[in-house]
Amino acid sequence: MTIQDVKQRFGIIGSAAALDRAIDIARQVAPTDLSVLITGESGTGKEVFPQIIHQFSTRKHGQYIAVNCGAIPEGTIDSELFGHEKGSFTGAHEARKGYFEVANGGTIFLDEVGELPLATQARLLRVLEAGEYIRVGSSKVQKTDVRVVAATNVNLPTAIEKGKFREDLYYRLNTVPIFLPPLRERKEDIFLLFRKFAADFAAKYRMPVIKLDGEAEQLLVNFYWHGNVRQLKNIAEQISIIEKSREINADTFLKYLPQQHTSVLPSIVRAEGSASSGDMSERDLLYKVLFDLKKDLNDLKKVVHNIVQYNQGAMMEMPTDDAQLINKMYDDEDTVQTNLPYTIHNPQIIPAGTKTSQPIIIEESLSLADKEKDMITKALSKYKGKRKYAAKELGISERTLYRKINEYSIKE
């Protein structure tokens, strides 16, 4: 069966290379009994891939059970997965089979596996390595033959460093990794998905299909989509139900987008199987530095424009804010404050009635390290040395902030 056949059978829409790669891996690994770990952001459609693996495996006639590990309370997760004996805990009025016993000969999909408690992780590791488990309240070892497919949107390597996930379990689950790209890295698929959702909701609610004009379509494609396919589907449904007009323009479409996420920063395209966004914090900080640097440059250009514009006037004729900014930019005739990202040669205020041809040359510093250090220093000062809030302001993790403080020898 081809990749296109798999898409049609399971209702997968898209032609992105990373998506096709993920489907191809699932199709090839299905006939084996290898454990599979599916990673990707929330809302990318990870729950479809265990079904593909199960349906194309020799276990397709066996039981398929999907378990959301994050939705089961820590006190009952062992009982749910491995079963319990009568009287093993308060409320255990009778013996109960667990999912691993019920799904014997079939497939278990452990969604949000990164949320499992450490004690349960140890039990799961034993199942994966020896096919053995013990019911809660029992001492009898039982056997099971189950194919395990797990999924998570948590950065497991980071969780391992924090002691929240077992390293041996990670490598046992990650025998075959499948990475699902976020929607913003599948721009060619966004409009196709929206059109499919719009058609589905039109049929469901018995109304005409909504259509986007050119500007609205550009907004759709360039939006960041933090919630990925799930968020896209929700917005398509909202617009289909609420809007009376079936022609949707950009202004109307903007009403349904979260305002805090309407601006789009350059997205970072990760290779398949690479670490999740937690490892990209340094690049995120670099983007923030670049955008702030650009803003500072634009502000300085305005000041220089005013200097030229008021070249024939006195300092008193110059706008007060610009005059103050110029005075702050240099300490004497040939030097500037070291914390500025620019160097101004021969700065001078032209007296009234004086003509001059001497140019003011502005050179932009290319040192991102200086700018980065300055931003970190300002953030720490703003929050009085509290790294947690400073890291949040900068958009990086506390771990990265701590390393940067040591790297730049910043005194808190």
* CATH architecture, range 184-261: Orthogonal Bundle (1.10)
Cα torsion angle, 159, 164, 169, 173, sign = negative
pLDDT for 189 beyond 70: yes
Give tens-digit pLDDT for 387-410. Answer: 888 888 888 888 788 878 888 888
107-111, 147-151, 242-246, 323-327: range with lowest mean pLDDT: 323-327
Alpha helical stretches, state H, 15-145: 17-29, 48-55, 77-82, 99-102, 118-130
| Unique residue bearing structure tokens 């255990």 | 92
Q: 275 burial class (0-12, 13-18, 19+ CB within 10 angstroms)?
A: middle
Question: What pLDDT is attached to residue 96?
Answer: 92
Tell me the pairing of strands 342-345 and 247-248. unpaired
Give tens-digit pLDDT for 232-277. Answer: 999 999 999 999 999 999 999 999 998 754 444 444 444 444 444 4
Kindly give, in sequence order, each residue whose CB lies less than 8 Å from that of residue 196, ignoring residues fewer than 6 positions away: 13
Q: Which two tokens stand for residue 333?
A: 């005739």
Domain boundary assignment for the chain: 3-179, 184-261, 277-412
Tell me the pairing of strands 141-143 and 64-68. unpaired
pTM of the model: 0.63
Phi/psi of residue 141, each to 5°? -80, 130
Give the CATH number of domain 3-179. Answer: 3.40.50.300
User: If residue 149 lies in a helix (H) or strand (E), which one and from where to where?
Assistant: strand 147-152
| pLDDT band, very low/low/confident/very high, at 304 (cuts 50, 70, 90) | low
| Unique residue bearing structure tokens 């990650």 | 174
Of 278, 52, 38, 279, the closest CA to residue 180 belongs to: 38
